[in-house]
Amino acid sequence: MRELGYAAPSGLAEAGRILLEVEGAMALAGGTDVVVARRLGKIAPALVVDLKRIPGLDEIRDTEGAIEIGALASMTTISRSSLVGEYFPALATAAGVMGCWQVRNLATLGGNLCNASPSAETAPPLLVYEAVALIDGANGPREVPMADFFTGPGTTVLARGELLAGVRLPKEPQGLRSAYARRALRRSMDIPLVNTAVALRIAEGVVEEARLALGAVAPVPFRVRPAEEVLVDRRLDGAALRAAAEAACASARPITDVRATAEYRLAMIDVVVRRALAEVAEEEVAA
């Protein structure tokens, strides 16, 4: 195994400069993807740039009209945050079901997003909450809507020398109900075969606004506009759930791999979309 250098910068600008200047340098957050990939020989970084010493990068902040979650916030922190639970329950659920508790204690939001797996647990909730990626590094700050962040399996808009500083989620006005659902081969310690997040605004039983995102069934997680359109202006009954699930299946491009066939994944889209929508419908009835 190649000898591994280590740097622990105290700020994102410094971290970005190291990544820019040192050939083969790689950011390190919780290490749950990096360490495993290195052990398996899939990557051979010359130097890891440890982000954990950068102050404040693991915080969740209540700013005016929005919540900002630092890239270094762990899944455990996110799943237990009362702010996230109150405003963004689908994200809290996703963070709380990922992997196992040992992984959740280490795994960070930034690592999950920058690893850019099509099945990244936190991506569908961030898409339906219309989050913005806060980027910083060697070239200074910029912002990119989460919908444009992923560019393909394992790739993002981040340029060399850039890091994810965090995400900003606009606090929704009252009345947006959301849910997260996933299907994996095993109940825990398994990445999703398909995952979904839904967020609906319902007034007097009728859907006014619908947002639905899917993961693991296309090269990148994505908003499913046709499924959103079929839900608007109708009651959330069985027929609406079926129509949305059908539209979601028609929009997906699942692949067959060692974990599941494309056909099985399609069948599971139907299951998870209906489950997430049914959860929202039940909440609406109970409210």
Binding site residues, ligand FAD, CB under 6 A = 26-34, 36, 51, 71, 98-99, 103, 106-108, 110-112, 114-115, 119-121, 158, 163-164, 189, 191
Sheet of strand 60-63: strand arrangement: 60-63, 66-70, 162-170, 132-137, 142-145
Q: Which is nearer to ligand FAD, 32 or 196 (CB)?
A: 32
Q: Which is nearer to ligand FAD, 71 or 179 (CB)?
A: 71
The two beta strands, 132-137 and 25-28, are unpaired
Between 238-251 and 262-286, two packed helices, what is the crossing angle to 10 degrees?
150
Alpha carbon 184 to its chain's center? 16
For the chain, how long is the longest CA-to-CA vector? 63
In the complex, the smallest distance separating the C-beta of residue 223 from ligand FAD, rounded to whole angstroms, is 18
The two beta strands, 25-28 and 47-50, are parallel
In the complex, the smallest distance separating the C-beta of residue 80 from ligand FAD, rounded to whole angstroms, is 16
Cβ 125 vs Cβ 87: under 8 Å:
no
Q: Which is nearer to ligand FAD, 117 or 241 (CB)?
A: 117
What whole-number distance in Å separates Cα of residue 227 and Cα of residue 214?
Answer: 11
In the complex, the smallest distance separating the C-beta of residue 51 from ligand FAD, rounded to whole angstroms, is 6
Q: Which two tokens stand for residue 135?
A: 């980027």
Q: Which is nearer to ligand FAD, 114 or 220 (CB)?
A: 114
CA distances from 107 to 11, 65, 100, 273 (A): 20, 27, 10, 26
Residue nearest to ligand FAD (CB): 111
The residues pairing with 133 across neighbouring beta strands, listed in sequence order, are: 144, 167
Q: Which is nearer to ligand FAD, 161 or 226 (CB)?
A: 161
Q: Which is nearer to ligand FAD, 26 or 157 (CB)?
A: 26
